[in-house]
Amino acid sequence: MSTGGKVKVAFADPPYIGCANRYPEKKEVDQEGLINQMDKFYNCWALSCSSPSLKQLLAWCPSEVRVAAWVKPFCSFKPNVNPAYAWEAVIYCRPRKRDRSVPTVRDWVSASITLKKGLVGAKPPAFCFWLFELLGLEIGDTLEDLYPGTGVVTQCWESYQDRLRIQQGVIL
């Protein structure tokens, strides 16, 4: 994705491969179809996933994807799982290109998990704001949260755009 112009962006945080039983629908997601849909219909996209599923998912991705990490300093420790799963992968494709005048964004974020949000795997606001920076999102871009869950991604996107408007002196 080049600089300038408004873009259509997708973020998907579906039930991870093999984890559908944790959700009321108990239905596995067609992850390959999801990747193909995002790649076909969006300028830029990101997919949250588990580290064990990376090999399978990357085989379905276009060659230009990159992998970023959400590192969880506080996470849930499961019995008989050692080492703990203390990070999640984010596969992303075609972020907005930025010139050297823009601060460099790290390809990882450290943010603790959320608790008692009513949905397994709900993302914390710090993750959302980092994701927007990672993808180089700007005022006027369209972000579609394909698996809205708690709605936090959309709420954070609205807040992020408001913050950008204030920083840029754009009247609300």
Give 3-state DSSP helix, strand, coil % of the chain, rounded to 5: 30, 20, 50
Residue 134 and residue 104: Cα distance in Å, rounded?
Answer: 9
Q: What region does 157 belong to: left with phi over 0, alpha with psi -120 to 50, or beta?
A: alpha
Q: For residue 2, is it within any domain?
A: no
Q: Which domain holds residue 122?
A: 8-168
pLDDT at 52 over 90: yes
The predicted model scores a pTM of 0.89
Encode pLDDT of 56-94 as tens digits: 999 999 999 999 999 999 878 889 989 988 899 999 999
Q: For residue 50, is it within any domain?
A: yes
138 burial via Cβ count (<10 Å: 0-12, 13-18, 19+): middle
Encode pLDDT of 107-123 as tens digits: 999 999 887 666 666 79
To which H or E segment does residue 12 belong? strand 8-12
Residue 77 and residue 62: Cα distance in Å, rounded?
Answer: 33
Q: For residue 38, is it within any domain?
A: yes
Q: What is the percent of the chain where pLDDT is above 90?
A: 67
What is the pLDDT, as a whole number, of residue 163? Answer: 92
Q: How many domains does the chain have?
A: 1
